[in-house]
Amino acid sequence: MGLYFGTDGLRGIVNEDLTLEIASKIGNALGMLKHKPTIIVGSDTRISNSYLTAGLACGAMKAGAKVIDIGVCPTPGIAYITKEYKADYGVVISASHNSGEYNGIKVFGSEGYKLGDKEEERIERCFIHEKTNDFPDIGSYEQNFNLVKTYKNFLINASKKSLKGLTIVLDCAFGASHRIAPEVFRALGATVIATNCMNDGLKINKNCGALYPQSLAKKVLKYRADVGFSFDGDADRLIAVDEKGNIIDGDMIIYGLAKYYKKTGLLKGNAVVGTSHTNMAIEIALKKEGLDLIRTDIGDKYVLMKLLEKDLSIGGEQSGHIILKDVATTGDGMLSAITVANMILSENKTFSEALDVKLYPQSNKNVIVKDKFRIMNNEDIIKEIAKFNAELEGKGRIMLRASGTEPKIRVMVESQDAELNERIANEVVGKVVAINEMN
């Protein structure tokens, strides 16, 4: 990671951490890295999107780039369109699951993959010297909102069968999928109950979507639906709900899809990719199916790297970033939901019957800190973690990590004993808070 880019692009509160100047510098850098590049740019529904898009476009045009603004589009849609259109870069203006005051910038290369750490560092180095082209070599800007239909058609064609007979509740978090998701699932024949499916950047991710699936669970029960799908603001995550109202996280979805892929002959390598956060119960359940779990650092870019390295089919995170590598270049909430719906129909089972694994309880806590790296390298914290790892040895584990996108330390304790998890997590949080206040 560089000074500006984190584990998933650049993100922060608008006009505090993420300014118009930074957006302009990123656009200008992209214009410098290739000769007169074509840049696709799209966004979710945040009210700051046009502001940051204008800044990025101006910086890019100063360096001679052609900017094509496709408007509101999910992150995976921009990755797909960038590749299909043979553009040089795709840029997403979105803060994903964060609330409305945040925004962010993600950059995809010409093949639809997120830029790696070294490429992001190259962009940052270009911040030092801006490029300004003279007439007539300045760039251009145009809008082409019809390009989103290309992605919509891809999603419809990705379904192996009609979804007729399924009743599906969708929670689009007032974000980028608010229009396209209901259209796609209705086009596939499903009965759709749409909720939080309006273009409202002030409400994006607010007590809804993938981070707050509890209200979706109530609606699934109310309408006696077969399944519920919730997306985050840029629709690269999926958290589902089964017909009994149980919340199904990314770990469970990966487990279900791995079994489904194996039965249908689509699974490569008899393995899937998860992260250090993937629930231990999933690893055990996969073993019983003759499948391995390969863990990476947290961050979907690291999951993708391992999928490409090992030529595997499925990988993802507990948070709902799921990458179906053989058909997509990045996590895609709607594509994952379509695949889950296909699984339910193919298995001729209810969603709950298809997922016969009980997760280990986890205690997850976040602590806002002044300097997350100072906390992570603190000797007392390191000793504390070692002590609890020894206590949990053979029956659980503890993880402490710095958020890649926010000023937070994340604590996770996992074992079959929920009370033990909570006790240890609270003790670690107390230690982090005490050290954070010593300054």
pLDDT in tens, 194-221: 999 999 999 999 999 999 999 999 999 9
Of 158-172, 370-384, 392-406, the least confident: 392-406
Strand partners, 247: 241
331 within 8 A of 77, measured Cβ to Cβ = no
CATH class entry, domain 157-354 = alpha beta
pLDDT for res 439: 61
- What is the pTM for the complete model shown? 0.90
93 within 8 A of 52, measured Cβ to Cβ = yes
pLDDT at residue 395 greater than cutoff 90: no
325 within 8 A of 306, measured Cβ to Cβ = no
Q: How confident is the model at residue 117 (pLDDT cuts 50, 70, 90)?
A: confident
Average model confidence (pLDDT) for the chain? 94
368 within 8 A of 380, measured Cβ to Cβ = no
Alpha helices in 175-229 (DSSP H): 180-187, 214-222
Q: How far is CA 418 from CA 186, 405, 421, 423, 425, in A?
A: 41, 28, 5, 9, 11
The helices-and-strands tally (H runs, E runs) of the chain is 15, 18
pLDDT for res 1: 46
Q: Note the residue count of the chain.
A: 439
Cα dihedral 166/169/172/178 (nearest 10):
60
pLDDT higher at 391 or 9: 391
Q: How confident is the model at residue 393 (pLDDT cuts 50, 70, 90)?
A: confident
Please name the residues in contact with 237: beta carbons below 8 A apart, sequence gap of 6 or more. Answer: 96, 97, 210, 231, 250, 319, 320, 321, 331, 333
pLDDT for res 3: 57
Q: Which two tokens stand for residue 96?
A: 């994903």
Measure the CA–CA gap between 261 and 235, rounded to whole angstroms. Answer: 23
Strand partners, 248: 240
Model pLDDT for residues 16-59, shown as the tens digit of each residue: 989 999 999 999 999 999 999 999 999 999 999 999 999 999 99
318 within 8 A of 211, measured Cβ to Cβ = no
- Span 425-434, mean pLDDT? 92
Of 206-220, 221-235, 349-363, the least confident: 349-363
Model pLDDT for residues 300-346, shown as the tens digit of each residue: 989 999 999 999 999 999 999 999 999 999 999 999 999 999 999 99
Sign of the CA dihedral 45, 328, 29, 296? positive
Specify the CATH number for 10-146; select among 3.40.980.10, 3.40.120.10, 3.20.20.70, 3.40.1360.10. Answer: 3.40.120.10
pLDDT at residue 291 greater than cutoff 70: yes
Asked whether the domain spanning 157-354 has the same topology as the one spanning 10-146, the reply is yes
Q: How far, rounded to the nearest angstrom, does the alpha carbon of residue 254 sit from its chain's CA centroid?
A: 14
Residues noted as catalytic: 96
End-to-end CA distance of the chain: 26
Q: Looking up tokens 């019983």, which residue turns up?
A: 288
Q: Given strand 322-324, what is the order of strands in its sheet?
A: 292-296, 271-275, 314-316, 322-324
pLDDT at residue 7 greater than cutoff 70: no
Model pLDDT for residues 244-278, shown as the tens digit of each residue: 999 999 999 999 999 999 999 999 999 999 999 99
Strands (E), 65-166: 66-72, 89-93, 102-108, 140-143
Q: Where are the domains of the chain?
A: 10-146, 157-354, 362-437
CATH class entry, domain 362-437 = alpha beta
Of 106-120, 139-153, 281-295, 383-397, the least confident: 383-397
